[in-house]
Structure 1
Amino acid sequence: MKKIYIIRHCKASGQEVEAVLTVDGIEQAKQLAERLQQYDIKRIISSPFTRAIQTIEPFSKKMKIEIEQDERLAERVLSTQNFDDWLEKLEQTFLDENLRYIGGESSKEAVARIEQLINELLESSTTDTAIVSHGNLLSLLITKYNSKFGFTGWKTMRNPDVFLLTKDGQDVDIKRIDM
């Protein structure tokens, strides 16, 4: 059975590419590393964003597993414009997967890029992989496999948060793991 551990980064100082983990986030990353040791993770792939890499570094070092960076795990850009009502705009993209704001990426486009990576992982020889990314992108991925998750599920996501995607034959399942 293929297992992909889907990890949302720990608490960060901001949303920009170079935003680092907060003091609490650094502690969360250490605790996450301890908890992830119970799983047989053999490969780590991360968003190139600093906060994602910092989230998985303690585990990577402890287990001596290299962190591979993949642009397909970068956070989805909603728009290059600032919106006062960004939350409502985000919700609309869960309702209309083709909706695209100026300079942004539609939900459909974002899912296509992360799904390409997921499909590669499901076809690879490695059985247990951890991917580290961001709330918006990961909630779209989870919604692909569980349509009930959606915007409401995104609002329930924590920093960090861990989900397990499994594939057994043709059946794909995704569920939250309590950490």
Structure 2
Amino acid sequence: MPTIYLVRHCSATGQEPDAALTEAGERQALELRDFFQDVPVTRIISSDYRRAVASITPVATASELPIETEPNLRERTLSLEPRDDWFELLRHSFEDNSFALPGAESGQDATTRILNVVGRADGTTILVTHGNLLALLLQHVDNRFDFETWRNLSNPDVYRLEIVDNFWSVERVWPVPTCG
């Protein structure tokens, strides 16, 4: 019965696979380290994009765990070409999970890809991914998660996914509530 922490990467300089974290993103990665300090993490699996790995490196160092990189946690490819209408296309893709532009990936295909990784999680696992892919997984678990969920994700963001007897429940656990 795994517990899976789904982490969206910290603030980055861009969307390219080699985009680094911003200065704020570097601070956020340390906040993630502090957030996970009392969580008995047994495994870390991350998108192989630089911003995802950099987001979880302080946690891995503090936990003395290796980071397993996994291409199936990469961001979804909505279009092979830059598009002015990408925002509306993304909205539509949440309403019709079979929608895909030529050569790109449907929401259904991307969800299947991340579910493949979720199915291999064991113990207390952290999966580090990207906003669109994370939102699609959340929608798969609970259809109340939708395009607006994606719009309201933060960098970073953390959800806890519990799987007990094939019953899946998900809860947002970031940002950490503050007193006062």
TM-score class, shorter: over 0.9
* Contact 1:81 1:103 (8 Å CA) reproduced: no
User: Number of paired residues?
Assistant: 175
**1:153: which partner in 2?**
149
**1:90: which partner in 2?**
90
Match of 1:120, SS state, is coil
Deviation by residue 1:112-160 (Cα, 9 ceiling, x = unmatched):
1111111122xxxx31000000000010000000101110110110000
Q: Which residue identity is paired with 1:164? A: R
**2:140: which partner in 1?**
144
Deviation by residue 1:62-95 (Cα, 9 ceiling, x = unmatched):
1110000011101101001111121101001101
Deviation by residue 1:82-110 (Cα, 9 ceiling, x = unmatched):
11121101001101111111331000100
Match of 2:128, SS state, is strand
> CA offset at residue 2 of structure 1?
1.8
CA distance in 1, matches of 2:17, 2:2: 30
**2:166: which partner in 1?**
170
Matches within 5 A, 1:90-109: 90-109=90-109
> CA offset at residue 170 of structure 1?
2.2
* Contact 1:78 1:104 (8 Å CA) reproduced: yes
**2:31: which partner in 1?**
31
CA distance in 2, matches of 1:76, 1:25: 21
CA distance in 1, matches of 2:166, 2:108: 22
CA distance in 2, matches of 1:37, 1:171: 27
CA distance in 1, matches of 2:120, 2:19: 29
Where structure 2 has 5 or more consecutive residues not aligned to the other structure, the ranges are none
> CA offset at residue 10 of structure 1?
0.3
TM-score under structure 1 normalisation? 0.95
Q: Which residue identity is paired with 1:111? A: T
**2:47: which partner in 1?**
47
CA distance in 1, matches of 2:138, 2:23: 28
> CA offset at residue 21 of structure 1?
0.3
* Contact 1:14 1:20 (8 Å CA) reproduced: yes
Match of 1:4, SS state, is strand
CA distance in 2, matches of 1:171, 1:91: 28
Taking every aligned residue pair, what percent have the same amino acid on both sides? 37
Divergent runs of 4+, >3 A: none
Q: Which residue identity is paired with 1:54? A: A
**2:114: which partner in 1?**
114
**1:73: which partner in 2?**
73
Match of 2:18, SS state, is coil
* Contact 1:81 1:102 (8 Å CA) reproduced: no
